[in-house]
């Protein structure tokens, strides 16, 4: 049953034409808007189930928890007929000046997390949903929600093609987009699907620091740094060096991608493109959640932010002054008196100390 925010019971306005809705989305900041029918995304379901069976999901839940649900739009809206998919662009190169010289070693953040792009994406999708509701139809907005496989919906709606790096790439623009959809019971003609434009290129497969793209379009999450930063437990020792100074997400399979090297979309101004590792490692739980609580952190436990920061610190290039600060910080996580120590963090601190040659 739809609530008041999903349908309008007041005097109905005429149903807007597809191009009118598309223009509303573009005016609201989307770079592409595409239409597809709301039949199940059967291929994606098969992919989800087969990856799960092969263990390639690395224990991920998200859309993998219930592949039938996340590929069946009628589970979101029983009489759904159309998905209207939108792509929101985000900046992918940091501004030239990256802070003052006094700043501590920096932790890298993947571009999609520099600010809350999903909020803007949802607002733009709401702008499309509003006239549908005014016309008496139901419209629900879904973005990065476990109940819909966004890439599969985008591909079927003709937004872009399925890249070998598994991202959706927009023709002439690449993959620096977050994706979402309006699910509605209003009827529209589907757009045409865009064919593959990767051709013989395979830079993303070769450019992945851990070899996580195990076949065209297939990411083995057990090796993907973006996922490993989000898993509970120890960060796997064999991928710690490859992690570099990343603390959230990984962009390598996009930065090497020729179609994604177009002029970056402008920075909005409130992006946080990196964080100071020393500050992260001295922050309280509350401060950490305040700073990065928007991210996916296992069990929302700030220890995992510290765990990631310790690995990043172990990989950082430090000045001699910074080495002294690093040494005392690492001693704090791995003190001589082990009676009250957090075993996970002390092990990562020991690893970082060895990496930095501070033992």
Rule CB under 6 A: which residues touch ligand B12? 43-44, 47-48, 60, 62-63, 110, 112, 143-145, 148-152, 155, 162, 164-168, 175, 177-180, 216-217, 219, 221, 224, 226-227, 230, 249-251, 253
Catalytic residue, chosen from 4, 27, 79, 144, is 144
| CA distances to 316, 322, 333, 334, 353 from 327, in Å | 13, 9, 10, 10, 7
38, 47, 125, 250: residue in contact with ligand SF4 (rule CB under 6 A): 250
**Residue 48 binding target from ligand B12, ligand SF4, none, CB below 5 to 8 Å by type:** ligand B12
DSSP strand pairing (218-219 vs 139-143)? unpaired
DSSP, residue by residue, 79-110 = T--EEEEEEEE---S--S--S-TT--PEEEE-
Q: Look up 144 and say whether it is catalytic.
A: yes
Work out whether 257 is an interface residue with ligand SF4 (CB under 6 A).
yes
**Residue 252 binding target from ligand B12, ligand SF4, none, CB below 5 to 8 Å by type:** ligand SF4
Give the nearer residue to ligand B12 in terms of CB position, either 162 or 329: 162
Minimal CA–CA distance to 166: which of 193, 192, 142, 198?
198
Minimal CA–CA distance to 109: which of 298, 290, 309, 265?
309
DSSP, residue by residue, 6-36 = T---SSPPPPPPHHHHHHHHHHTT-SEEEEE
Range in contact with ligand SF4 (rule: CB under 6 A) among 65-73, 252-260, 313-321, 325-333: 252-260
Question: Are 333 and 346 in contact, with CB atoms under 8 Å apart?
Answer: yes
Q: How far is the CB of 267 from ligand SF4 (least distance, A)?
A: 22
Give the nearer residue to ligand B12 in terms of CB position, either 166 or 185: 166
Work out whether 203 is an interface residue with ligand SF4 (CB under 6 A).
yes
Give the residue closest to ligand B12 by C-beta: 217
Work out whether 208 is an interface residue with ligand SF4 (CB under 6 A).
yes
Work out whether 247 is an interface residue with ligand SF4 (CB under 6 A).
no
Instruction: Please list the residues that pair with 274 across neighbouring strands.
Output: 108
Unique residue bearing structure tokens 């973005």:
143
> What are the phi and psi torsion angles at 276 (to 5°)?
-75, 120
Work out whether 312 is an interface residue with ligand SF4 (CB under 6 A).
no
Beta strand extents in 157-273 (DSSP E only) = 161-162, 168-169, 177-184, 213-215, 218-219, 246-248
Work out whether 87 is an interface residue with ligand SF4 (CB under 6 A).
no
Work out whether 56 is an interface residue with ligand SF4 (CB under 6 A).
no
**Residue 259 binding target from ligand SF4, ligand B12, none, CB below 5 to 8 Å by type:** ligand SF4
Half-sphere CA count of 49, side-chain side, radius 13 A: 10
**Residue 194 binding target from ligand SF4, ligand B12, none, CB below 5 to 8 Å by type:** none
Range in contact with ligand SF4 (rule: CB under 6 A) among 19-27, 78-86, 196-204, 267-275: 196-204
**Residue 80 binding target from ligand SF4, ligand B12, none, CB below 5 to 8 Å by type:** none
Question: Are 193 and 162 in contact, with CB atoms under 8 Å apart?
Answer: no
| CA distances to 85, 111, 163, 209, 219 from 203, in Å | 28, 19, 11, 12, 14
* Residue 258 CB contacts under 8 Å (≥ 6 apart), including other chains: 201, 203
Q: How far is the CB of 80 from ligand SF4 (least distance, A)?
A: 30
**Residue 203 binding target from ligand B12, ligand SF4, none, CB below 5 to 8 Å by type:** ligand SF4
Q: Which residues bind ligand SF4 (CB under 6 A)?
A: 163-165, 198, 201-204, 208-210, 212-213, 219, 224-226, 250, 252-253, 256-259
Tell me the catalytic residues: 144
């Amino acid at each position: 049953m739809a609530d008041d925010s999903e349908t309008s019971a007041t005097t109905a306005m005429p149903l807007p034409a597809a191009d009118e809705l598309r223009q509303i989305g573009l005016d609201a900041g989307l770079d592409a808007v595409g239409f597809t029918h709301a039949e199940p995304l059967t291929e994606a379901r098969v992919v989800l189930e087969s990856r799960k069976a092969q263990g390639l999901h690395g224990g991920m839940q998200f859309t993998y928890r219930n592949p039938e649900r996340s590929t069946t739009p009628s589970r979101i809206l029983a009489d759904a007929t159309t998905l209207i998919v939108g792509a929101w662009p985000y900046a992918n190169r940091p501004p030239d000046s990256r802070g003052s010289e006094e700043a501590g070693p920096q932790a890298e953040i993947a571009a999609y997390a520099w600010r809350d792009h999903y909020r803007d994406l949802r607002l733009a999708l709401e702008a499309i949903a509003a006239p549908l509701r005014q016309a008496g139809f139901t419209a629900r907005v879904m973005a990065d929600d476990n109940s819909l496989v966004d890439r599969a919906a985008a591909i079927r709606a003709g937004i872009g093609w399925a890249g070998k790096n598994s991202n959706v790439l927009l023709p002439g623009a690449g993959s620096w987009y977050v994706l979402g959809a309006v699910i509605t019971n209003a009827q529209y003609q589907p757009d045409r699907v865009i064919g593959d434009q990767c051709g013989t290129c395979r830079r993303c497969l070769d450019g992945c620091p851990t070899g996580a793209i195990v076949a065209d379009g297939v990411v083995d999450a057990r090796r993907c740094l973006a996922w490993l930063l989000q898993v509970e437990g120890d960060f796997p020792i064999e991928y710690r060096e490859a992690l570099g100074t990343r603390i959230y997400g990984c962009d390598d399979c996009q930065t090497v991608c020729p179609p994604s090297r177009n002029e970056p979309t402008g920075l909005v101004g409130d992006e946080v493109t990196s964080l100071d590792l020393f500050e992260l490692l001295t922050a309280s739980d509350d401060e950490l959640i305040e700073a990065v609580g928007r991210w996916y952190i296992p069990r929302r436990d700030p220890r995992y932010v510290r765990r990631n920061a310790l690995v990043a610190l172990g990989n950082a290039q430090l000045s001699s002054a910074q080495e002294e600060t690093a040494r005392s910080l690492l001693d704090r996580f791995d003190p001589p008196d082990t009676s009250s120590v957090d075993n996970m963090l002390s092990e990562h601190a020991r690893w970082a100390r060895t990496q930095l040659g501070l033992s």
